[in-house]
Structure 1
Amino acid sequence: MAALALGSVTTAVAMGAQDDEWWPGRHMGGTAWTEPVGPVGATGHMRHMSHAFVDSEYGFLVEMIAHHEEAIDAAGELARSDRAEMRAFGERIVESQSAQVEQMEGWLDEWYADRSGEVDYDPMMRDLADLSGDELDEAFLIDMIGHHMGAVMMSQQLLVRDLADHADVERLAEDIRDEQRDEIRMMQRWLRDWFDTGWGMGFSANRGPGPRR
């Protein structure tokens, strides 16, 4: 079931980006995970894609809150970036995702008050606190592309599998999917333009990481 859902999700995501040079997840063929490969030593920052598998509206909300909170913390580090574009992007993530977290927490209080709201979240991004300059920007972009891909997958899975019990949650999932898919494209362009590199992710049920393109 998980492999089937992942295939449906990544197909739907890729269909919206066929003009891109590389779309994360386009070539996923199984459930194994691999870390993004990058010139800044991107090891261990994308632990796994288990957060991308949701089986209920409640599960989507608690996972997405934890996922957003990690992104908010990482985006706050961009206040130290030398690039105005990155500082503005960090501010946008903090503002947008903080508002969405507040909205989702309100829904949990209203609809699922009898449940804990807790989730065992394994971080997907590395610690950026000691990085600066180009190293900070490149590490953030590499990590956040994979992080955004997880949110797109979760949102699309909720929609494709018709898991939402409330129209408000369905609309939020659509907003997250569309917003973060556009941001992935933007971050891919920045990696290419500023660092002459890209972000690739190869999945296979029987083998390890595929080559980065």
Structure 2
Amino acid sequence: MAATSTGETWQQTVEPAGRNMMAPTSTSSMHGVNAGEEADYLTYMVAHHMEEAAAAKQLQRSSRAQMRTLGASIVTRQSAEIAMMNKWLATWYRGHSPTTGYRPMMRDLSKMSGDALDETFLRDMIPHHMMAVIMSQQLLKHGGVRHQPVAAFAARVREAEHAEMFRLQRYLADWFGGDGVLCPIGN
């Protein structure tokens, strides 16, 4: 559960992870979440960010300084954004269900180390970022934004995670000989 600044909690509902999830074939609704509705977007993004921050914390064990720095940056950014989104949810959407049906996209990194940790993180995080980009674009495209700060946030997420995907792809190619393009985008 994530606590908000007002003391309310939003529970992340997840299904067991086991494999990477492919990008959806329909981008208007992902995992039962209406990406074009602000409250659903925020609720889903809290769960999405929580998974990303948890995975990024594992990078403190990486032998690569770039990965440790990346992990620390992700944890700091995602933690601040989770707090902000929880505040918005508590303020604007008190009656909105915190259940997301979120399905983890990343493998458990807790027992990995060395190259296995770094490569798995990179291979999982690229499609994870892609999902955030798609969700943010759908919210903005379908006009479901009700509050200007959320529009600005969705645009920042879309741009920042898109740009970071290229950095992750570069790391993957440089260190592991992969191109990082792991999942197709649906229509």
- The TM-score with structure 1 as length reference comes to 0.72
Q: Displacement of 1:156 after TM fit?
A: 0.7
Give 1:46's aligned residue.
Answer: 21
Give 1:119's aligned residue.
Answer: 100
In 2, the alpha carbon distance for the partners of 1:158 and 1:164 equals: 7
In 1, the alpha carbon distance for the partners of 2:119 and 2:184 equals: 23
Percent identity between the aligned chains? 43
Give 1:172's aligned residue.
Answer: 153
Counterpart pick for 1:96 among 65, 77, 84: 77
Aligned residue-pair number: 163
What residue ranges of structure 1 are gaps of 5+ in the alignment?
1-42, 206-213
Contact 2:132 2:157 in 1 (8 A): yes
Q: Displacement of 1:199 after TM fit?
A: 2.0
Q: CA RMSD in A?
A: 1.8
Q: Displacement of 1:74 after TM fit?
A: 0.3
In 2, the alpha carbon distance for the partners of 1:111 and 1:57 equals: 10
Give 1:29's aligned residue.
Answer: none
Q: Helix, strand or coil for the counterpart of 1:98? A: helix
Contact 2:139 2:154 in 1 (8 A): yes
- The TM-score with structure 2 as length reference comes to 0.82
Q: Helix, strand or coil for the counterpart of 1:97? A: helix
In 2, the alpha carbon distance for the partners of 1:92 and 1:59 equals: 26
Q: Displacement of 1:162 after TM fit?
A: 1.3
- Alignment of structure 1 residues 17-56 onto 2, 5 Å: 44-46=19-21, 49=24, 50-51=30-31, 54-56=35-37
- Does 2:51 align with 1:70? yes
Question: Which residue identity lines up with residue 144 of structure 1 in the other structure?
Answer: M
In 1, the alpha carbon distance for the partners of 2:150 and 2:129 equals: 18
- Does 2:141 align with 1:160? yes
In 1, the alpha carbon distance for the partners of 2:145 and 2:185 equals: 30
- Please list the CA deviations of residues 42-64 of structure 1 after superposition, one character each: whole Å capped at 9, or x if unmatched: x7222663358513001100000
Q: 1:136 to 1:53 in 2, by over 3 A?
A: farther
- Please list the CA deviations of residues 14-55 of structure 1 after superposition, one character each: whole Å capped at 9, or x if unmatched: xxxxxxxxxxxxxxxxxxxxxxxxxxxxx7222663358513
Contact 2:173 2:180 in 1 (8 A): no
